[in-house]
């Protein structure tokens, strides 16, 4: 269903982004992947998907501009933009490292502005486009010790709505998907800090902190998120715009 479309998926060397890149490539899109990781592993992923790779660090606007040029030159301007890259840091606000705050805002929020402003003109010109932002349940509700992440994700949700209104008449939809806890390295990596911050064991963090919020008591899978992203790319989804679609096992219903 995506033959002839070009998709740029940021943060797609692992986790949710990788699953989305796989889903879009599986439907025939030409995909550019992005993110960090072991070069051999990234080469294997690129080969598997027939995808092009750009290693832009999304905290740097100049590297984002060069990634968009790279995509446009080699594959064509993106018809589908998935802003998925994201980082987390867990700390009380009074101890929050200033550099971590700046990095989280830059990667999780400001990069979404840069890719969007660069990609949207050609989508409007073609009167077809899909912008899908991976937000989070933390775009709707908060948890303690995640001030930067919660601020950035609430920002992504607001940005999504604003751009959706701007592009509404141009065949371009702009939405965010807000997963609850998805089992990826991002979640795995925050377990030690949460253990320290709250003086808990690993099992207590998994069950009493993470899954405590999620009524289904199971982690969302990257493949479930990818299936929703793929649906948003379909023609049938053209009236879904400016939405913040929760996939959180009931978390934000409570
Ligand atoms: P992940 O750590 O597996 O993937 C993050 C990706 O972003 C990786 O490809 C990584 O290399 C890339 N990345 C990190 N910093 C980057 C930078 N400066 N420049 C370019 N790429 C960079 O984590 P994930 O859980 O798959 O997270 C993907 C998105 O989903 C994030 O936006 C995250 O906030 C969001 N999310 C995750 C969960 C969850 O529970 N895992 C829940 C809700 C939302």
Q: Ligand 1: does its nearest atom lie under 6 Å from the Cβ of 57?
A: yes
Q: Ligand 1: does its nearest atom lie under 6 Å from the Cβ of 20?
A: no
- Domain of residue 86: give its range: 6-183+221-253
Q: Ligand 1: does its nearest atom lie under 6 Å from the Cβ of 155?
A: no
pLDDT score recorded for residue 187: 86
Q: Which residue has the higher pLDDT, 49 or 208?
A: 49
The answer to whether residue 213 scores a pLDDT higher than 90 is no
| Runs of H (alpha helix) within the chain | 15-26, 39-49, 61-74, 98-105, 111-126, 147-167, 185-198, 202-204, 222-233
- pLDDT confidence of 210, banded at 50, 70, 90? confident
pLDDT score recorded for residue 185: 87
pLDDT score recorded for residue 14: 96
pLDDT score recorded for residue 88: 94
Instruction: Please list the active-site residues.
Output: 149
Q: How far is the CA of 137 from the centre of ligand 1 (A)?
A: 14
The reply to whether 91 falls in a domain is yes
Q: Ligand 1: does its nearest atom lie under 6 Å from the Cβ of 84?
A: yes
The reply to whether 58 falls in a domain is yes
**Lowest-pLDDT range, 167-171, 187-191, 248-252?**
187-191
The reply to whether 242 falls in a domain is yes
The reply to whether 128 falls in a domain is yes
pLDDT score recorded for residue 145: 95
The reply to whether 210 falls in a domain is no
pLDDT score recorded for residue 128: 98
pLDDT score recorded for residue 136: 98
Nearby residues of 121 by Cβ (< 8 Å), 6 or more positions away = none
User: Tens of pLDDT along 93-141?
Assistant: 999 999 999 999 999 999 999 999 999 999 999 999 999 999 999 999 9
Angle between helices 147-167 and 98-105 (to 10 degrees): 20
Atom nearest to 16 CA in ligand 1: 26
3-state secondary structure of 176: strand
CATH label of the domain that carries residue 92: 3.40.50.720
Give the count of domains, the chain: 1
**Closest alpha carbon to 185 in 8, 13, 46:** 13
pLDDT score recorded for residue 186: 79
The reply to whether 56 falls in a domain is yes
- Residue from 10, 13, 16, 37 to probe ligand 1 pocket by mutation (most atoms less than 8 Å from CB): 16
Q: Ligand 1: does its nearest atom lie under 6 Å from the Cβ of 186?
A: yes
Q: What rounded mean pLDDT belongs to the chain?
A: 97
Q: Which residue has the higher pLDDT, 209 or 4?
A: 4
| Runs of H (alpha helix) within 84-146 | 98-105, 111-126
Say how far apart CA 108 and CA 86 lie, in whole Å: 5
Question: Which residue, judged by its Cα, is nearest atom 33 of ligand 1?
Answer: 86
Say how far apart CA 68 and CA 82 lie, in whole Å: 13
The reply to whether 196 falls in a domain is no
3-state secondary structure of 173: strand
Nearby residues of 73 by Cβ (< 8 Å), 6 or more positions away = none
Query: pTM for the complete prediction?
Result: 0.96
User: Tens of pLDDT along 19-40?
Assistant: 999 999 999 999 999 999 999 9
The reply to whether 88 falls in a domain is yes
């Amino acid at each position: 269903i995506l033959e002839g479309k070009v998709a740029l998926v940021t943060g797609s060397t692992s986790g949710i982004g990788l699953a989305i890149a796989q889903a879009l490539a599986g439907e025939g899109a030409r995909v550019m992947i992005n993110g960090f990781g072991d070069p051999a592993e990234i080469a294997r992923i690129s080969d598997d998907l027939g995808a092009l790779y750009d290693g832009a660090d999304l905290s740097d606007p100049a590297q984002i501009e060069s990634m968009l040029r790279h995509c446009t030159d080699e594959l064509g301007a993106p018809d589908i933009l998935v802003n998925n890259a994201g980082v987390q840091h867990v700390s009380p606000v009074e101890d929050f490292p200033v550099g971590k705050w700046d990095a989280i805002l830059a990667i999780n929020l400001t990069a979404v502005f840069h890719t969007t402003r660069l990609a949207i003109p050609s989508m409007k010109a073609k009167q077809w486009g899909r912008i899908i932002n991976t937000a989070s349940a933390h775009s709707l509700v908060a948890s303690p010790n995640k001030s930067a992440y919660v601020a950035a994700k609430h920002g992504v949700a607001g940005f999504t709505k604003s751009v959706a209104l701007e592009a509404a008449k141009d065949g371009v939809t702009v939405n965010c998907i807000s997963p609850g806890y998805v089992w990826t390295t991002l979640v795995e990596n925050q377990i030690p800090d949460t253990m320290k911050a709250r003086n808990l064991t690993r099992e207590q963090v998994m069950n009493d902190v993470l899954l405590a919020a999620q009524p289904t008591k199971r982690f969302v899978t990257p493949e479930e998120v990818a299936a929703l992203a793929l649906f948003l790319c379909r023609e049938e989804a053209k009236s879904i715009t400016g939405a913040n679609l929760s996939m959180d096992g009931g978390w934000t219903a409570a």
